[in-house]
Amino acid sequence: MRRKKLLGRAFLVLVFVCLPVFLSAQGKLADYERAAGLKDKVEGLALNIMGRPVWIDKTSRFWYRKTVKGGAEFVVVDAENQSKKPAFDHAKLAASLSSAAGEKYAAVKLPFNTITFVDAEKAIEFEVGDSKWKCDLADYSCKKTGPVERRARFGGGGGLAQGGPPAEAASKEAKASPDGKWEAFIKNYNVFLRSKDKKDEFALSFDGSEGNYYTYRSIVWSPDSKMLAADRLRPGYHRFIQYVESSPADQLQPKYSTMEYAKPGDALDINQPVLFHVDAKKQINIDSSLFPNPYVLSALVWRKDSRSFTFEYNQRGHQVYRVVEVDAATGQARALITEEYKTFFSYSGKKYRFDLQDGKEIIWMSERDGWNHLYLYDGAAGTVKNQITKGEWVVRGVDRVDEETRQIWFRASGMVPGKDPYFIHYCRINFDGTGLTPLTEADGNHTLVFSADRKYYVDTWSRVDLPPVSELRSTEERKALMEVERGDIQELLKIGWGTPEVFTAKGRDGKTDIWGIILRPMNFDKSRKYPVIEYIYAGPHDSFVPKSFSAYYSMQSLAELGFILVQVDGMGTSNRSKAFHDVCWKNLGDAGFPDRILWHKAVAAKYPYYDISRVGIYGNSAGGQSALGGLLFHPEFYKACFSSCGCHDNRMDKIWWNEQWMGWPLGPEYAASSNVDNAYRLKGKLLLVVGEMDQNVDPASTMQVVNALIKANKTFDLLVIPGGGHGPGGVYGERKRNDFFVHNLLGIDPPDWNRIEPKKLISTQ
């Protein structure tokens, strides 16, 4: 009896100990269900969200597609009289198309997102699947007009390897001179000319060989047909990555393949421009002292009057960039524009050149004063005439250069002190730097679409915490003519959906604002303590925190499992000052973490429920590198990491991206930032994911981390995706990520998926 009582008490103790875990796991299942269905649930609840407007040819009318209850509809606006109406009778078109296609379509669920008005706007054309369709808007008769023409896709996985074929002995193709008298082609590695009637043929060059050959694709004729220029190419080292596709869909045995992929430090192809005078059959070699060590030379471009040709020179190491002009008579080269930096010349979204009047003037973009701005050059003298834009803000891009009015239409960020420095605004300015005119004013992220005559524009702006507003505006008066649409999120709010919170805190210098966003679960309870997960991408080529409204961010689904999700742009990313950007120089391992950690601490100081004793981090690609770097270099702060397809050692990844930020020649900084060389530092929980067929980042980069971790006797998890590409592992990988954080940050076991009936419980994208 005593034994039975003891066993009974033990059973009760066991039940009470295990029951919370069991109930928590079941509670998590409900959270997983909510997270998986979140995207479909919320995206249909944001109404009157306007798609990009499309102006109809050269008219003052445009159409757009907007969200409505249950689907979407098309609308046409007439800017002249500020009126709008349905683009067509949606019910009639749905009925007619259903009959013609043998499918069932609803008025607000039409199977296309774009239309083209034809026949003086009396009909529309669109695509459904692989077929083109046309519907007459008078009688709504719809008919199939043919197959959709699909453009062939070129390129593989972003290896961006240098060079072309190992040699060009001959080319069957020929480039005709503008006057039609001559054809230029490659023969025996040299440039040859032949008359159009093929009767006269002779060599222009004699110095081409297997190891230093002329390339057909580089041949460019002068407009007057008296000269031509071409590149002589000395091949470098062409590296190839070896792939084994373990589980191909079309055969039992593995497949083996290779892909050309240049890596930092590799010897590159070297192009040498050469000038030829046709009548004299003369070759003029060009002194390369202005372009001695090219990472790349751009295509050769002749001036319209044939006086010279130009090309752009990016020096190996990305610290010197030049616009070079070669005199057609003498072959003498001179630098029109030179950019030199102690760190790097950033051409990722920051290089712009526009030649005016056949090069008499040049508009050029530069960060030489510490901010990304526009300059006007004297093309003849090669000197700056004046700085066009100026101030502690940045030009984000040029939309139009009007040579007649001598005005530039451009995008900018950071012009309004105290406001989000990443918001894009649109402006206009004169070539001489006067007349700076803002075209947008609302506090948000803007997109403008102009009519063909630029008399009108549609300004759509939003924030992550404010749905989009679209206005039709007059360009001349810069005033709103009508509100086209205003997003309605009332239905979203009814289900407990909340906007992300924009949060700022001071960075490592104690002065610079660091901007990020916070996402909370829909069942958020401020009396609880929430683990924090940071999604990271710190690539220096851009900034990444969302700035425009969306009803759904993928981070939100992960938040529904019981976390607070955040995303931050730390120092070392782009679109701020040059000094802000330069933090990344030879220092990708930094990834802005000193700023990110201060930002987290500032959030925790404001919100007691923000638990920075349990912080996780995840990312893909460069984000995968940074995520693991957070765990290795800042183990006192980050406790768990999901890293997918990371470029974990910058010596293993694509050449252009890594040499631009980490420098050339390769130095000790590469090892200092390497997750491979620093794998021994691991203290937290880690799940690595890699696709065996990743053509963006060499999969060996992840496997080398694995090898280093094993050698260091570290415990971690690894998921290899057979046939997988450059991503977090698809639906399965996302589920593993979610389970990983639930287990390691919430401290409970995720659902036992092998015992659960298959449902859509794992997709968060």
Residue range 550-601, pLDDT digits in tens: 999 999 999 999 999 999 999 999 999 999 999 999 999 999 999 999 999 9
Whether residue 26 is predicted with pLDDT greater than 80 in this model: the reply is: no
* 528 domain residue, yes or no: yes
> Band of the pLDDT at 198, cuts 50, 70, 90?
confident
Query: Does the structure show a pLDDT above 50 at 441?
Result: yes
Q: Is residue 439 part of a domain?
A: no
Categorize the per-residue pLDDT at 349 as very low, low, confident or very high, splitting at 50, 70 and 90: confident
- Would 62 be classed as within a structural domain? no
Q: The CATH number of the domain where 220 resides is what?
A: 2.140.10.30
d(CA 694, CA 158): 10
Gyration radius of the chain over CA positions: 30
Question: Would the pLDDT of 167 be above 50?
Answer: no
Is 376 inside any structural domain?
Answer: no
- Give the CATH number for residue 508: 3.40.50.1820
Asked, for residue 12, whether it belongs to a domain, the answer is no
Let me know if 753 is exposed, middle or buried by CB neighbors in 10 A (0-12, 13-18, 19+).
middle
User: In terms of residue numbers, what domain contains 706?
Assistant: 503-755
Q: Domain boundary at 280, 308, 336, which? A: 336
Is the Cβ–Cβ distance between 260 and 238 less than 8 Å?
yes
Sheet strands side by side (includes 425-430) = 394-402, 407-413, 425-430, 437-438
Q: Is the pLDDT of residue 759 over 80?
A: no
Q: Let me know if 375 is exposed, middle or buried by CB neighbors in 10 A (0-12, 13-18, 19+).
A: buried
pLDDT digits (tens, 9 = 90+) for 674-733: 999 999 999 999 999 999 999 999 999 999 999 999 999 999 999 999 999 999 999 999
Look over the chain and give the mean of its residue pLDDT values, rounded to a whole number: 93
Residue ending a domain, choose from 318, 336, 354 = 336
For residue 621, which of 662, 593, 652 has the smallest C-alpha distance?
A: 652
Give a yes or no: residue 463 inside a domain. Answer: no
pLDDT in tens, 116-132: 999 999 999 999 999 99
Average pLDDT over residues 501-516: 98
- Confidence category of residue 11, pLDDT binned at 50, 70, 90: very low
Question: Given pLDDT bands bounded at 50, 70 and 90, which one contains residue 150?
Answer: confident
- Secondary structure of residue 119 in the 3-state scheme: coil
Q: How many domains does the chain have?
A: 2
Question: CA-CA distance, 63 to 114, in Å (whole number)?
Answer: 9
- pLDDT for 496-505, tens place per residue? 999 999 999 9
Query: How confident is the model at residue 24, as a pLDDT?
Result: 52
Q: Which is more confidently placed, 220 or 765?
A: 220
Q: For residue 303, what are its two tokens? A: 């001036």
Q: Is the pLDDT of residue 169 over 60?
A: no
Which residues are bridge partners to 745 per DSSP?
A: none
Lowest mean pLDDT among 40-44, 184-188, 402-406, 590-594: 40-44
Question: Domain end: 308, 336, 364, which one?
Answer: 336
**Residue 637 and residue 612 in contact, taking contact as beta carbons nearer than 8 Å:** yes
418 in a structural domain: no
With a CB cutoff of 8 Å and minimum separation 6, the contacts of 401 are: 354, 356, 363, 407, 408, 409
DSSP β-ladder status, 530-535 and 610-620: parallel
CA distance 701 to 591: 18
Task: Read off the pLDDT of residues 69-109 as tens digits, 9 standing for 90 and up.
Answer: 999 999 999 999 999 999 999 999 999 999 999 999 999 99
Strands 513-519 and 717-721: unpaired
Query: Is residue 107 a part of any domain in this protein?
Result: no
* Statement: residue 168 has pLDDT above 80: no
Provide the pLDDT for residue 160.
Answer: 33
